[in-house]
Amino acid sequence: MDKRTTSHSLPEAPREFGFWMDGGWHGGREMFERASPGHGVAVTRIPKCTVADLDAAVAAARRAFEDRSWAGLSGAERAGVLLRAADILRRRRDEIAYWEVLENGKPIAQARGEIDHCIACFEVGAGAARLLHGDSFNSLGDSLFGMVLREPVGVVGLITPWNFPFLILCERVPFILASGCTMVVKPSEVTSATTLILAEVLAEAGLPKGVYNVVTGSGRTIGQALTEHPDVDMLSFTGSTAVGRSVVHAAADSNFKKLGLELGGKNPIIVFADADLEDAADGAAFGISFNTGQCCVSSSRLIVDHRVAAEFEAILAEKMKKIVVGDPLDENTQVGAITTDAQNETILSYIAKGKAEGAKLLTGGGALDQGRGSYIAPTLFSGVTPAMSIGRDEIFGPVLSSFSFSTTEEAIALANDTVYGLAASVWTKNIDTALNVSRRVRAGRFWVNCIMAGGPEMPLGGFKQSGWGREAGTYGVEEYTQVKSVHIDTGKRNHWIK
């Protein structure tokens, strides 16, 4: 495989990959050809693996776990591999960003920024590997000493989505590895390239064979089989709440494997009258347009103080009109292509519903003709009510619904009026308001006077139907461990049989 591609031109021919198992490449009998959503030309060819391929990959991960070639290393040794991986990612940053853009459709500048975040994930994971520890209990009496051990859970299945193929992968992989686990990864069939490139990176960094395996194919076959596999000890799934619900049932019906789930969101951005309205409008425009709104933490519900609602919506609409939508390989592009045809149709159908339901369209509202590829203008609806589908459903596109409120209590109630609880944001210059709202809105991530801020030191995850568990940071390493209580008797036994 070519090691470096920095050109912004399209590839002359699709890049062909194998799948990665037990430390090496394996060829597929059938291949899936992926066309760039921004350009409509074939860019990669990925194997359609079989369930037998998956079984072999799980067996490789099990061997690697049981032989303790990874779990048996010290935290410092594991950290060394993760730090070397970070260095290699830094060297291959432009190449990885390029293939991420070609398969996903996101802007090249955004993709490079995401790789920088991924490098940070490996560096934080390395630190967490050295700091992972248990506990001790010296309070059980003179003759009994207690220890709490954290041990790796075992073989982890990891299913990742198409919206952030590499970023979501790297918000999990270094922390799973830091815990001492081995894994089998199933990326989305439309965005598998960078997950496979990471296999090369980890091998070069010194990761033992069988610790990281990638099996490509559809969610209905390979994803389902991975979820149901009896020799997988834990499954991490990122995707829709509907599919997450089926994952829960499949895991329960197989071996009661432990689950980590990051699911849907319908995230509020609350703007009070005392906020810096220009800042808040820029944050709202970014929050709904980043990654073309195909982001589980997109701020898709604007909840704005009625006293400034009209003024704020006007400022916001003007900002959204200035967003540069275009070719993902253009350095000036801020919003790229919609990743799949199905998602493009879904977004457009919700825009049509918003118009039909009586919401007022302030800007955007349709597809943009760029000559090739699928593009949608960032869209703002005003006068949205909780009964409207655009105000309740996760659209997963650049469509922002604006509500208004009169009191803080009403703002909090509107923010919490959703089955989801993934992320939220509040904009105010009043510290009492900021603290009150951030403590009472039910969401796993919260931003005050900012949006999508922070790094991998902080945990990621949701409340309610947005998922279970936490990723990243020390919490993310602990998520992939089991807790074991050990009792040590240090004295003469008091015999039960006299």
pLDDT-based confidence at residue 29 (cuts at 50, 70, 90): confident
CA-based nearest residue to 232, from 275, 266, 183, 192: 183
**Mean pLDDT calculated for residue range 110-114:** 98
pLDDT-based confidence at residue 8 (cuts at 50, 70, 90): confident
Measure CA of the first residue to CA of the last residue in the chain; give whole Å.
73
Amino acid at 13: A
In this structure, the dihedral spanned by the alpha carbons of residues 115, 284, 370 and 397, taken in order and rounded to 10 degrees, is 80
Selecting from 3.40.50.300, 3.40.605.10, 3.30.70.980, 3.40.710.10, what CATH number does the domain 15-263+466-484 have? 3.40.605.10
Q: pLDDT of 274-310, one tens digit each?
A: 999 999 999 999 999 999 999 999 999 999 999 999 9
Which residues sit opposite 135 in a β-bridge?
Answer: 148
- Compute φ and ψ for 393, nearest 5 degrees: -85, 150
Chain center to CA of 179: 19
| 11 touches 102 (CB < 8 A) | yes
Name 407's Cβ contacts closer than 8 Å, sequence gap at least 6: none
Amino acid at 123: E
Query: DSSP string spanning 4-37?
Result: ----SSPPSSPEE--EEETTEEE--SSEEEEE-T
Confidence (pLDDT) at 5: 41
**Mean pLDDT calculated for residue range 182-193:** 98
Distance CA 93, CA 87 (A): 10
Which residues sit opposite 147 in a β-bridge?
Answer: 136, 486
CA-based nearest residue to 433, from 283, 275, 238: 275
Name the token pair of 409.
């209590």
| Per-chain mean pLDDT for the chain | 96
Distance CA 134, CA 330 (A): 49
Place of tokens 């308001």: 433
Distance CA 323, CA 385 (A): 26
CA-based nearest residue to 186, from 208, 167, 212: 212
| 270 touches 470 (CB < 8 A) | no
**E strands present in 124-206:** 135-137, 144-152, 155-159, 182-186
pLDDT-based confidence at residue 460 (cuts at 50, 70, 90): very high
Confidence (pLDDT) at 38: 94
Distance CA 433, CA 3 (A): 51
Q: pLDDT of 200-227, one tens digit each?
A: 999 999 999 999 999 999 999 999 999 9
The verdict on domain 268-448 having CATH code 3.40.309.10 is yes
Name 146's Cβ contacts closer than 8 Å, sequence gap at least 6: 136, 137, 138, 139, 140, 485, 486, 487, 488
Which residues sit opposite 302 in a β-bridge?
Answer: 269, 402
Q: pLDDT of 359-405, one tens digit each?
A: 999 999 999 998 898 999 999 999 999 999 999 999 999 999 999 99
CA-based nearest residue to 170, from 219, 113, 130: 113
Q: What percent of the chain has pLDDT over 70?
A: 99
Kindly list the domain boundaries of the chain, sorted by start residue. 15-263+466-484, 268-448
pLDDT-based confidence at residue 3 (cuts at 50, 70, 90): very low
Q: pLDDT of 246-283, one tens digit each?
A: 999 999 888 999 999 999 999 999 999 999 999 999 99
CB-based burial, 426-464: b 16+ in 10 Å, e otherwise: bbbeeeebbebbbeebbbbbebbbebbeeebeebbbbbb
The set of catalytic residues is 262, 296
Residue 395 DSSP SS3 = coil
